[in-house]
Amino acid sequence: MHGLIRVSATPDLSPALERRPGAFVAFLLRARGSPPMVIGFALFCGVLLMAAFAPLIAPYDPVAINVRERLAAPSLGHLFGTDDFGRDVFSRVVWGSQLAVRLGALSVVVALAGGIVLGLVAGYYGGWVDQLVSRLFDLIFAFPSLLFAIAIVAILGPSLDNLVVGLGLFGCAGYGRLIRGSVLSARQREYVEAARAIGARASRIMLRHILPNVIAPVIILSATRFGGALLAGSGLSFVGLGVPIPQPEWGAIMATGREYLATAWWITLFPGALIAVAVLGVNLLGDGLRDVLDPRLRD
């Protein structure tokens, strides 16, 4: 019949769908346009690769003593020179990256686990539970982070595991307070009320509905906490309260070279430079994640 216009019941939406990238692809596109994200990711990946392939990169045993080559200057045989016991500084710095990554990662995991549990419970239930957890956070924050870690290490003894416990326990208060504040605003949202209306358990509501919606600032905080754990661990090892000698930890390596700053500067310079690169990398990565994940900072 003339004048009739045939309209398809199922319009072709494929061009529109093709123009809408997935969440992960959109994240990568935004990350690529963030210089801090790119630089921080490159530096952090460099440290991770060094730690992963330390047995292949390091030419010498990091704890092997060679008195005949003690305090040797940097050369082709010893790229970063040797320390006062003739140990190859390059090998010790490379192996030290493993301890640095383990310390940072485990400290963040311990802090994140404790902070998520305490923050979710305090923010969701409120009342006396919130008051109790908040006072616990206040008590932890009453001590400087290094002093808190020193107290834990002094009680348990100097070791990597005890250092992780001290830094992790202090860090859980920061995560917990951040998550608590986010949960307080999220628990009144429509999707939470709908989950309550259908009889969902509190644990399911917290883990399935609330946590995924408050996790972005936690991811950003984790990057800066990683760098803070590296600095704190190196500082404690520098004064003899961290990883015990002769393990190749960056702060401990710097401590062995402080008596030779005028004559053997390389013992302190190279591990200090690696600490700076690692911390700079994770801090830039954290800034980039904030720019990418925070919707208020998007164009």
The mean-pLDDT minimum among 96-105, 222-231, 239-248 falls in 239-248
Residue 248 preceded by cis peptide, ω within 30: no
Does residue 170 carry a pLDDT above 50? yes
Can you tell me the distance from the alpha carbon of 270 to that of 231, in angstroms, rounded to the nearest whole number?
15
Mean pLDDT (whole number) for 40-46 = 91
pLDDT of the residue at 13: 39
Can you tell me the distance from the alpha carbon of 262 to that of 91, in angstroms, rounded to the nearest whole number?
22
In this structure, what token pair is assigned to residue 60?
């010498």
Does residue 9 carry a pLDDT above 50? no
Q: Does this model's pTM top 0.85?
A: no
**CA distances from residue 211 to 65, 74, 259 in whole angstroms, order as listed:** 51, 51, 50
142's enclosing H/E stretch is none
pLDDT tens, 56-93?
999 999 998 888 988 889 999 899 999 989 999 999 99
Tell the residue number behind the tokens 């995560």, with chain if given: 175
pLDDT of the residue at 183: 86
Mean pLDDT (whole number) for 233-245 = 85
CA angle 292-178-141, nearest 5°?
A: 130
Percent of the chain with pLDDT over 90: 28
Q: Residue 110's closest CA among 159, 160, 166?
A: 166
138: CB partners within 8 A, 6+ apart = none
Domains annotated for the chain, with CATH where assigned, are: 48-297 (1.10.3720.10)
- Mean of per-residue pLDDT scores for the chain: 83
pLDDT band of 5, cuts 50, 70, 90: very low
